[in-house]
Amino acid sequence: MIKNRNGNIIVTNKQQNSVLEKLYDTFSGRMLLRLLTAPIISKTAGKFMDSPFSVPLVKIFIENHNIDTSQYVMKKFRSYNEFFTRRIKSESRPIDYCAKHLISPCDAKLSVYRINHNSIFRIKNSLYRVSDLLDNDFMARRYDGGYCFIYRLEVDDYHRYCYIDDGMKTVNTFIKGELHTVNPIALKRYNIYKRNCREYTMLHTDNFGDVVHIEVGAMLVGKICNHHGEYRFAKGEEKGMFQFGGSTIVQLFEKNKVRPDMDIIRNTREGFETVVRYGEKTGVSLSRI
């Protein structure tokens, strides 16, 4: 379930959720998933979405999802992926540049969890270890007592993402995996964040300590497209983008580095995700209070 920042419950993507329930909750659907989640299928779908043959899908998508095209830089797109990764107008997503404010890296549905002493956190009644995400027990132990921010993007969200502060990043580490949807329906059957391919980097930030930033791939996503390797970045600067499909960003914060906004903490405790926007405040730096 989802709430906006005003506390109102909203419903999104009813048709998509119905399809996913059939895939994950029936035997025949789960057999089909064996085929759909194979990397070759995702790559093939990605190639189609990069081709001119996919252009007719643009109009259908805009109509089906009621996309407000006035917010975006629109042009004659050469492929569906070119449309899917379209840029939003800067005035549509103003960046909160206050140094003490943590910002959302993307448009998403956000949940926030405290990382306990066993480095385990709960998402929709499923347990996940930070070490599973990173495939690195030593790094995971650094985040005991900190926070895990999970940003879930749906297909009609803006699929570019930005840096949350000024700082320096390390090289990107890619972990292979199966590609599953990141919709909560899938969590009934699969440990999505462990099985999916993902890419992470360490962000040495000026105001929030060393933040692990993880992009998680999803069903029919061609690839995670990060712009930089080792790099000095600025708050609000574009970090990368997802191609076609819903995807997720996970950020890990060390203990005593950040305080999430209370409405987001409250919503998560009550079982709700919170709608947030690219560049919007989601917490504050404890070093700046």
Question: Is the CB of residue 182 less than 8 Å from the CB of residue 197?
Answer: no
Active site residue 107: yes
Q: How many CB atoms lie within 10 A of CB 137?
A: 12
135 counts as catalytic: no
Contacts within 8 Å (CB) and 24+ apart, 223-226 = 223/46, 224/197, 224/198, 224/199, 225/85, 226/172, 226/199, 226/201
**249 Cβ partners below 8 Å, 6+ apart?**
105, 106, 108, 150, 151, 153, 161, 213, 214, 215, 216
φ, ψ (nearest 5 deg) of residue 103? -120, 155
CB 275 within 8 A of CB 5: yes
Q: Which of 42, 104, 107, 131 is catalytic?
A: 107
Which residue out of 42, 104, 247, 285 is catalytically annotated? 247
Residues 80 and 178: their CA atoms lie apart, in Å, by 23
Residues 9, 2 contacting (CB under 8 angstroms): yes
Interior/surface letters 179-218, b for 16+ CB within 10 angstroms, e for the rest: bbbbbbbbbeebbbbbbbbbbbbbbbbebbbbbbbbbbbb
Catalytic site positions: 107, 247
